[in-house]
Amino acid sequence: MNPKKLKQLKKRVKKQAGAPYIQQLMKYRDLFKDDPQILVLINNVLESDRLLAAGLAPQQLPVLEIPDDFQDHLFERINQQYAMGDPAGDAAWNQLSAALPKVDQLLRNFRDYIEDQYGMWAYISAPFLKDLADFTGSAPVLEVMAGNGYISKGLKRLHPGQPIYTTDSKDWTHETGNQTGRHPVTTIEALDAVSAFNKYAATIKYVIMAWSPDKLTIDWDLLQAMRQSPYDIPLIVIGEKYGATGSKQFWDHANYQDNEAVTKLNAHFRPFDLIHDHVYVVR
């Protein structure tokens, strides 16, 4: 079985086996109501989900990881709250310490949740969208492999008059259980990346590509087409270099721009889990 199909099957089995993701988090929010270190992480996730469900860009996330010293803080809090030898204190400790691995797993699975629920692969926050809008200004932009169109929608909200061409091959819509392309938040033209570039190259100033599929050479095909074009157009790339996105050919042969403007693009694009994606400007 294709590894990606197997991963999707495992996700569906896991999803069916327990309570819905957000419902579980709300239960643990109540359980850890006296522990700010955990509460702030859970509340950040719940607020992001609330905004996404409302069709709005979420806020930047902290690293969704329980601090290494949290159990020490928990032990101190329980000792202060209950008298030595009080069975209620032992019960509280046993309940909370047993719940920690489950909370940790839920926090680490947030990216899987937004992929499944919203078809959002790169976490596109409101602060990052503002940085991206400042970078492109009002210049015409082409977004390729747009998925559900979160980047294009965010840019349009900030610059209503900016010409933005939002495209995706929509191949994802044929995969069972994949929400990418099924619930677009803006109008998306059915074009693969190279076809989209060839169609709009004469009218655009930037191309945006977020989370090109892992190990597929679509990104490399696009970069070659852009280099063969008479137009000098930078490619804004969101992905994990030699990691969860894109092809080795692309990462090997990309010419990375390194300047203050690119640094500013990454000011609010920070990892929140084990995926270390980044914003690159490539030619």
Lowest mean pLDDT among 3-17, 34-48, 197-211, 231-245: 3-17
Mean pLDDT of all residues in the chain? 92
How would you label 52-70 residue by residue, b for 16+ Cβ within 10 Å and e otherwise?
A: beeeebbebbeebebeeeb
- pLDDT of residue 170 exceeding 90: no
Residues constituting the chain: 283
Q: What is the pLDDT of residue 27?
A: 97
Q: What is the pLDDT of residue 89?
A: 94
* Distance (Å, whole) CA 14 – CA 20: 10
Beta-strand pair 235-239/278-282: antiparallel
Domain(s) of CATH 3.40.50.150: residues in the chain: 126-282
171 band by pLDDT with thresholds 50, 70 and 90: confident
Q: What is the pLDDT of residue 172?
A: 62
Sheet holding 235-239, edge to edge: 189-190, 164-168, 141-144, 206-210, 235-239, 278-282
* Distance (Å, whole) CA 106 – CA 228: 45
Contacts of 174 (CB under 8 A, 6+ apart): none
The verdict on domain 126-282 having CATH code 3.40.50.150 is: yes
